Amino acid sequence: MAGQVFAYIRHHDGKAEDSALELVNAAKKIAGGAAVTAIVAGSGIDSLCAEMAASYKDVWKLDNSALAYPNAEVIRKALVNILPANAVVLVPHDTFGMDLSPGLSIKMGSPFVADIVDVEADGDVLKIVRQEYSGQAHTHVECNMSAGAVINVRPGVFQPDESKSAGGSVTDKSAAVGDLTCGRKYLEVVAAEAGDVDITKSDVLVSIGRGIEEEDNIPIAQELADAMGAVVSCSRPIVDAKWLEKARQVGTSGQTVKPKVYMAMGISGSFQHLGGIKGNPFIVAVNKNPKAPIFQVADVGVEANILEFMPSLTEAIKAL
């Protein structure tokens, strides 16, 4: 029989990340009826723990000034000290989870599966769905969790727990974290340079990806945005090419946006990009590749070359 199932709670400025409640539903698929324990590590986290108790039956609080910033190396030490050997640990596959989990699995002596998009438990066997080749191929992966497991869950794929009916309690495990010294010392966070525009405040985004082909075509997107009263945002390759400033990048390594309408123009739709889109906007995808993953998440799709489609749309809107 598999061990206790844990969910690692990511939080920032006293607030839980969206992934915190998504893990409730991911964990349920693994734990079946068994209780799931949330782990909240940090400093001054009482209210957050209480909040998590609404969604998790048990909340383990690890309150320590050394945990004030989530340094994955420090947190790994704490987790190894407090977790039972056969723990099944769910962690969001974000920049922290990618930092923490591979090493944690080694120290726990348990298998690790990264970036899962779906999971089912068949007895002790976890049947997992993943993606490879930038989402171009899906795979079924299996591992046995009887001796524990570390599973990184892709943010945004599981629905967040909205019932908040767990009525759980908080257990203070702070005393058990043990020695937290390690060879990596957190110094500071250097904020991204602010751009001229704040894409997080806009209700409508015209977002461009590789399909824009070259820097000189960016005005075509800008004209559409102007016609729609929208702001131009983009995916990572556009920023990597230095065609637009970092502040316009949507995605896990860029900005998180919550528009009402999201126009994905020539964006294939990697999960890192989609990870930056929150609040369930109306997504319009235009892409010349009918197999582009963006069409799976979009509400409306058009198979077209954006360099031809955007100008016609702009014209049509202007003609209104």
Least separation in angstroms between CB 150 and other proteins: 10
3-state DSSP assignment of residue 81: helix
CA distance 92 to 85: 20
Nearer to other proteins, 168 or 259 (CB): 259
Nearer to other proteins, 104 or 177 (CB): 104
Least separation in angstroms between CB 190 and other proteins: 4
* Amino acid letter, 164: K
Least separation in angstroms between CB 145 and other proteins: 10
Nearer to other proteins, 170 or 309 (CB): 309
Nearer to other proteins, 35 or 192 (CB): 192
One DSSP character per residue, 199-236 reads GGG-SEEEEE-GGG-SGGGHHHHHHHHHHHT-EEEE-H
CA distance 6 to 91: 9
Least separation in angstroms between CB 32 and other proteins: 21
CA distance 305 to 256: 26
Least separation in angstroms between CB 189 and other proteins: 5
Tokens linked to 52: 């998590």
CA distance 170 to 58: 6
Nearer to other proteins, 54 or 129 (CB): 129
Least separation in angstroms between CB 103 and other proteins: 4
- Residue 111, CA distances (Å) to 254, 274, 299 in order: 30, 27, 37
Least separation in angstroms between CB 196 and other proteins: 15
Nearer to other proteins, 6 or 309 (CB): 309
CA distance 211 to 265: 7
Least separation in angstroms between CB 301 and other proteins: 3
Tokens linked to 2: 């598999």
Nearer to other proteins, 176 or 194 (CB): 194
- Residue 178, CA distances (Å) to 61, 69, 104, 174, 227 in order: 14, 17, 16, 9, 59
- List the one residue out of 144, 141, 121 whose CA is nearest residue 132: 141
CA distance 294 to 306: 14
Nearer to other proteins, 174 or 217 (CB): 217
